[in-house]
Amino acid sequence: MSGGLLLAIESSCDETGVALLDGPRRIVGQAVASQVALHAGAGGIVPELAARAHLRWLDPSLDEVLADAGATLDDVGSVAVTAGPGLVGSLLVGVSYAKALAWGLGVPLVGVNHLEGHLYAAWLLDPGEPDRPEPAFPLVALVVSGGHTFLVEMRDHLSYRLLGETVDDAAGEAFDKAGRLLGLGYPGGPAIAQAAREVAAPGTAAGDSPTDRLPRAWLGTSYDFSFSGLKTALRRRVEAELAADGLPASEAGGRLGASRVAALAAAFEESVVDVLATKTLRAAEALGARTIVVGGGVASNALLRGRLAAGAAGLEVDLVMPRPGLCTDNGAMIGAAGARRLAAGETAGPDLGARASWPLARPAGTPDSRRPPTRGGAARAYARARDAEADAAGRGTG
């Protein structure tokens, strides 16, 4: 006999997340096993190590969550799992685990888009947190993670209109690359934020000092984003400062003095946050949104949170940003999206597979016929994702 709790599993990247939800919003138990330390030495995620670590951590995470919630597997009435986008090897670990559990328990299974999870994190309620109203539609949602950066409009549940997306690097990826350039280590986002705080308190414009100011890619009036020019500008700045000190240019600008690293980190953070916040607020105003929702690892950035909070208050729009632990990858957000999908009648069969690439929304008027990027990092990322997907399909994931 099974109960009414939803068990959710996330394994798309470098965090093993397991959660139990009671209803579509309430977390009753959750555990996240992070692999940051495992991959830090390599300066980025090693896919094979990531997949093995998920296998290692799923069982103990599930045990922890059940104990936390005072529940047993008999209390589980449905299972949700991230089916993409992400690293195929890592996804397959979670998908296989979820399928086995759902089949063994005789309960429905649903495959969840990880990006939809980041967005639905805004609906979550922690254990013991007082009830609060759901984010009101229409809303504008910004997803900013290590692999994705986009802005969508939602007029109802599970329905998305793409307003803009990055044309090259994701915001988190840009933070990670800048972190490497400044010799700050991986992941770059928190490291840059911390280094920048040494210049001034969060929320001040220290990163915008005229001498250190880095460029912003506004891309006209579009809601698209671009961060690769900023990264190049930062690299040139680091190289020029090293040259001025008579030092050789090196990939890791670790030899710049700490105060220069702090100043450049602040300038970089300011540039990324300025563009993200300005475009999100502009979209909310133009579309008459009642709510702004933000998700993804970069949404834990304090400067971004402060900037959006001030802007949203000015527009009299509600801002919903999950606490930082729910912005980075976790199982609860997959449960929040999965619960909505299940309520809409969606279930997955035993043939549920893993999808390396799975856009949540495509640009208006160009449904599946959108032409892939032909140049630069976007083209390379696209080719990698397409190959991985073909690979997974060829191998058969059912």
Residues 135-164 that bind Mg ion (CB under 5 A): 145
CB of 48 to ligand ADP, least distance (A): 17
Which residue, 328 or 397, is less far from ligand ADP as judged by CB? 328
C-beta separation of 135 from 318 below 8 A: yes
Residues whose CB is less than 8 angstroms from the CB of residue 252 and which lie 6 or more positions away in sequence, other chains included: 180, 181, 183
- One of 14, 116, 212, 329 touching Mg ion (CB under 5 A): 329
Residue 35 in contact with residue 87, Cβ under 8 Å? no
CB of 10 to Mg ion, least distance (A): 8
CB of 367 to ligand ADP, least distance (A): 25
CB of 360 to Mg ion, least distance (A): 12
Nearer to ligand ADP, 193 or 352 (CB): 193
- For 180, phi then psi, to 5°, come to -65, -45
Q: How far is CA 303 from CA 162, 222, 263, 385, in A?
A: 25, 23, 15, 32
Chain residues 6-25 in contact with ligand ADP, contact rule CB under 6 A: 13
Q: Which of ligand ADP, Mg ion, none does residue 11 bind (CB under 5 to 8 Å by kind)?
A: none
Q: Which two tokens stand for residue 306?
A: 């402060």
C-beta of 173: minimal distance to Mg ion in Å? Answer: 12
Select from 337, 362, 344, 297 the least CA-distant residue to 162.
Answer: 362
**Which is nearer to ligand ADP, 146 or 331 (by Cβ)?**
146
- Tally of CA atoms within 13 A in the half-sphere of 169 that contains its CB: 17
Minimal distance in Å, beta carbon 242 to ligand ADP?
24
Taking every pair of Cα atoms in the chain, the longest distance, rounded to a whole number of angstroms, is: 73
The encoded tokens of residue 321 equal 């940003």
* Shortest distance in whole angstroms from residue 73 CB to ligand ADP: 28
User: Please, which residue, 22 or 329, has the CB nearer to ligand ADP?
Assistant: 329
Q: How far apart are CA 156 and CA 136, in angstroms?
A: 9
When CB distances are held under 5 to 8 angstroms depending on the partner's kind, the choice from ligand ADP, Mg ion, none that residue 193 binds is ligand ADP
Minimum Å distance from CB 276 to ligand ADP? Answer: 10
How far is it, in rounded angstroms, from Cα 306 to Cα 300?
A: 11
The one of Mg ion, ligand ADP, none whose footprint includes residue 188, by CB under 5 to 8 A per kind, is ligand ADP
**How far apart (Å, rounded) are the C-alpha atoms in residues 127 and 25?**
10
Under rule CB under 6 A, residue 147 binds ligand ADP: yes
Beta-strand ranges (E) seen in 277-378 are 291-295, 318-320
Q: Which of residues 266-325 bind ligand ADP (CB under 6 A)?
A: 296-298, 300-301
Closer Cβ to Mg ion, 10 or 241, answer by number: 10
H-run or E-run covering 119 = helix 114-120
Residue 74: Cβ-neighbour burial (10 angstroms; 0-12, 13-18, 19+): exposed
336 binds ligand ADP (CB under 6 A): no
Nearest residue (CB) to ligand ADP, 5 versus 118: 118
In angstroms, the CA 318 to CA 309 distance is 9
Q: Are strands 159-165 and 109-113 parallel, antiparallel or unpaired?
A: unpaired
Among positions 84, 190, 311, 335, the unique one binding ligand ADP when judged by CB under 6 A:
190
Residue 29 binds to ligand ADP (criterion: CB under 6 A): no
- Binding partner of residue 69 among ligand ADP, Mg ion, none, CB cut-off 5 to 8 Å per kind: none
| Cα distance between residue 148 and residue 151, in whole Å | 10
- Positions in the binding site for Mg ion (CB under 5 A): 145, 329
- Positions in the binding site for ligand ADP (CB under 6 A): 13, 145-147, 172, 175-176, 187-190, 193, 296-298, 300-301, 328-329
